A = this chain, B = another copy of it.
């Protein structure tokens, strides 16, 4: 056995990225410091710059990784529209709302990403397109043009609804928004 496994550093880097994804989604990008991020990954702050050029650099990689993971997760659902219905119910659940760290990066960070530099927005654009295509493919494979239009609508309803539910202090109202969101998304899908 060698001093470090060949991919040791890459494994560590990936662990930093994944833990940072969780932390960013929970506390925001501005709300998460390097020291916290590194200690989440079981390391000290100094090692950060052996892995990333800057915090911005990390953010871009986290955004790309988060959306990639999301697409992969969608791939495990039932094919076609039934899988999409499952997805909608899971997405607009109280559990997802109450655990942003484990959930959708768009719902947790979309307006903050809009204020980020070009590297991060580029990563987001690429990833969001892939997510949209995933949704689109489940809608109407025979009519990709209108499917893409519906995919944008479905995506925005879901993200907007979850964000709204998270921002409400009244639990009952927040639950009502989620339930209504499910109906809205299902109605829009048809």
Contacts and interface: CB of A to CB of B under 8 A. Distances in A.
Interface of A: 27-28, 30-31, 100, 106-115, 118, 121-122, 124-125, 128-129, 149, 152-153, 155-161, 163-164, 166-170, 173, 177, 180-181, 183-184, 187-188
A163 B167 contact: no
A149 B155 CA distance: 18
A28 B115 contact: yes
A121 B160 contact: no
> Copy number of this protein in the oligomer?
2
Contact of A107 (B108, B111, B124, B155): B111
Given A111-B111, A112-B112, A115-B27, A180 B152 contact: yes
B128 A168 contact: yes
Contact of A169 (B109, B125, B149, B184): B125
Contacts of A158: 160
Given A108-B111, A128-B168, A159 B155 contact: no
A88 to B, nearest CB: 13
A131 to B, nearest CB: 11
